[in-house]
Amino acid sequence: MRVLVITFSAVVALTLGVGAALVAASETELPGVVRDPAPSAAGLVFDDHAEGDDPVEADLVPGPGELTLAYFGYLSCPDMCPLTMSDLAQARRLVGPELADHTTVAFVTVDPARDEPEDLRRYLEHFFDDGFLALRARDDAALEEAAETLGVRYELEDHDPGERYEVAHSAITYVIDASGAVVRELPFGATPEDYAQVIEAALTD
């Protein structure tokens, strides 16, 4: 049984982000929604810290016949981020190794001031999947551009320097195909089976 503790981040994210980002429901039976026109992740560049402190350039656009499932969150998130990462890891197991090999999960931090590269790598590798990408925007402007392009919403809680704070954020997983288009968006609450169904449909059509 899943128990969700509703906190500042969860309450504000649900009112601030989900409704704003998801504007048009799909007519298909697949979970999630689509937008018309679909946003594009093409041209959004990040630093990939999965291999070490010296980052390599990365984007969210997968190769032909592949998918990227991108999620914007932060390491101190008490609820939505770890639950979503766990569900995505389970979804990759559900679809089997062949489809999983063509599916990349990218975690993009919206709290780069606290989320150091080593912490991002450790968080994803030890708790979820060592194949997940650990991405940081190169600067605040790049993060804002990505958020604006995809419809991500995030807001840091007011805090004094050195004080613990939470980040209100939309909790949407963006399914991106080889053209860079966001072909489907799944909000927080989607199950591993939902993600698996979308992956299978996108990769076997």
Residue 127 included in any domain = yes
55 vs 91, which has greater pLDDT? 91
Whole-number Å distance between alpha carbons of 144 and 34: 22
Name every residue whose Cβ is closer than 8 Å to that of residue 163 and which is 6 or more positions away in sequence: none
Residue 132 in any domain: the answer is yes
Predicted structure pTM score: 0.84
Please list, in sequence order, all residues whose beta carbon lies within 8 angstroms of the beta carbon of residue 130, skipping any fewer than 6 positions away. Answer: 124
Residue 35 in this model has a pLDDT that exceeds 50: yes
User: Looking at the 3D structure of the chain, how many domains does it have?
Assistant: 1
198, exposed or middle or buried, with CB in 10 Å at 0-12, 13-18, 19+? buried
Instruction: Give the range among 59-68, 85-94, 133-142, 159-168 with minimum mean pLDDT.
Output: 159-168
Mean pLDDT across the chain: 83
Amino acid 156: pLDDT: 83
Percent of the chain with pLDDT over 70: 82
Q: Which two tokens stand for residue 195?
A: 């993600």
Pairing of strands 167-169, 154-156: antiparallel
pLDDT in tens, 73-120: 999 998 899 999 999 999 999 999 999 999 999 999 999 989 988 888
- Per-residue confidence band for 27, with pLDDT thresholds at 50, 70 and 90: very low
| Residue 2, domain member (yes or no) | no
The pLDDT value given to residue 41: 96
CATH code, 94: 3.40.30.10
Q: Are 176 and 89 in contact (CB under 8 A)?
A: no
Domain span at residue 54? 8-204
In a domain, 173, yes or no: yes
Distance CA 108, CA 14 (A): 19
Residue 75 lies in a domain: yes
3 falls within a domain? no
Distance between CA 129 and CA 1 in Å, rounded? 22
Alpha-carbon dihedral sign for residues 63, 45, 71, 116: positive
**Is the confidence at residue 199, as pLDDT, over 80?**
yes
